[in-house]
């Protein structure tokens, strides 16, 4: 018998948007998995509750998903933790080795019959680092499950009080850190996620194509900012910046 690995979405930023199921999973688990993008963490580190050292405390403070979960369920802070390195790099072989290492560390805990909950911002199935560990454990025969969270683009549209799509409109979710020039020509609504580092390039493309956009930075968080047009969007923005690009309407008709 082994423990269960759960990828739990904590939603976009507001603790009140966490699901009851995610809260219950946290309260019933043995260990919480914390993704760490900081390059100072080079290997998984296990830590019992109440024994934080300074560096690990800094990891917790910077982990947005953990802070959201703690705001929804105080029991989050009473759980043992495993810190997993998840660097924001694009070298495939290096990433594979790191993710293999992370999965092996979690597997060891599952073999000890400990249930592990990996906290992830938004929804685990949408560009989540959680899935790199999840799919490895699933292939190895461990019991895995996913608890959905409110996706950031749904929360952003709600925050701006607009629909994402209507009638026959298409919805395209695009990682803005990659080449999106051709994708901007797609019909319907385009959601540009994680656009912060490429904001200057995104703004240039929007201007060239004469397309307008709205943006929410840090949706649902204390430092949330809303921009109602492409001209308002700054050249530099935070990592959690999401743009909604609507298709041009023609003929004066509501579509």
- At 224-251, the pLDDT tens digits run 999 998 889 998 888 889 999 987 665 4
Q: Is 183 helix (H, G, I), strand (E, B) or coil?
A: helix
Q: What is the mean pLDDT of residues 144-150?
A: 98
pLDDT of 54 > 80? The answer is no
The answer on pLDDT for 134 being more than 80 is yes
Identical fold, 4-147 and 152-245: no
Summarize the confidence of residues 73-90 as an average pLDDT.
Answer: 93
Mean pLDDT of 3-20: 96
Q: How confident is the model at residue 253 (pLDDT cuts 50, 70, 90)?
A: very low
Nearest to 177 by CA among 157, 162, 160, 197: 197
Q: From the centroid of its chain, how far is CA 2? A: 27
Using alpha carbons, select from 189, 123, 127 the residue that is nearest to residue 150.
123
CA distance 142 to 138: 5
Whole-number pLDDT of residue 32: 98
Cα 245 versus chain centre, distance: 20
**Structural tokens at position 218:** 């840090």
Show me where the domains of the chain are located: 4-147, 152-245
| Averaged pLDDT score across all residues of the chain | 91
* Fold that domain 4-147 belongs to in CATH: Cobalt-precorrin-4 Transmethylase; domain 1 (3.40.1010)
Topology of domain 152-245 in CATH is 3.30.950
How confident is residue 49, by pLDDT bands cut at 50, 70 and 90? Answer: confident
72-108 exposure pattern, b = at least 16 Cβ within 10 A, e = fewer: bbeebeebbbbbbbbbeeeeeeebeebbeebbebbbe
Residue 214 has a CB neighbour count (10 Å cut-off) of 20
More confident site: 194 or 52: 194
Residue 252 token pair: 């004066």
pLDDT of 111 > 90? The answer is: yes
pLDDT of residue 249: 60
């Amino acid at each position: 018998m082994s423990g269960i690995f759960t990828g739990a979405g904590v939603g976009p930023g507001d603790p009140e948007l966490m699901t009851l199921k995610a809260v219950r999973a946290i309260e019933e688990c043995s260990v919480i998995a914390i993704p760490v993008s900081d390059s100072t963490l080079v290997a998984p580190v296990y830590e019992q509750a109440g024994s934080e050292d300074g560096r690990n405390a800094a990891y917790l403070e910077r982990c947005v998903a953990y802070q959201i979960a703690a705001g929804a369920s105080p029991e989050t802070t009473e759980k043992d933790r495993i810190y997993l390195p998840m660097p924001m790099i694009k070298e495939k072989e290096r990433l594979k080795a790191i993710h293999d290492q992370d999965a092996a560390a979690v597997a060891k805990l599952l073999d000890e019959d400990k249930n592990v909950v990996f906290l992830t911002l938004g929804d685990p199935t949408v560009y989540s680092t959680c899935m790199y560990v999840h799919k490895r454990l699933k292939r190895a025969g461990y019991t895995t499950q996913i608890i959905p969270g409110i996706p950031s683009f749904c929360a952003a549209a709600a925050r701006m009080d607009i629909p994402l799509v209507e009638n026959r409109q298409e919805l395209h979710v695009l990682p803005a850190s990659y080449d999106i020039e051709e994708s901007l020509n797609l019909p319907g609504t385009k959601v540009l996620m994680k656009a912060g580092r490429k904001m200057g390039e995104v703004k240039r493309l929007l201007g060239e194509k004469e397309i307008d956009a709205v943006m929410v930075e840090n949706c649902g968080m204390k430092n949330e900012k809303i921009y109602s047009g492409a001209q308002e969007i700054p050249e530099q923005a935070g990592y959690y910046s999401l743009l909604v690009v609507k298709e041009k309407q023609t003929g004066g008709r509501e579509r």
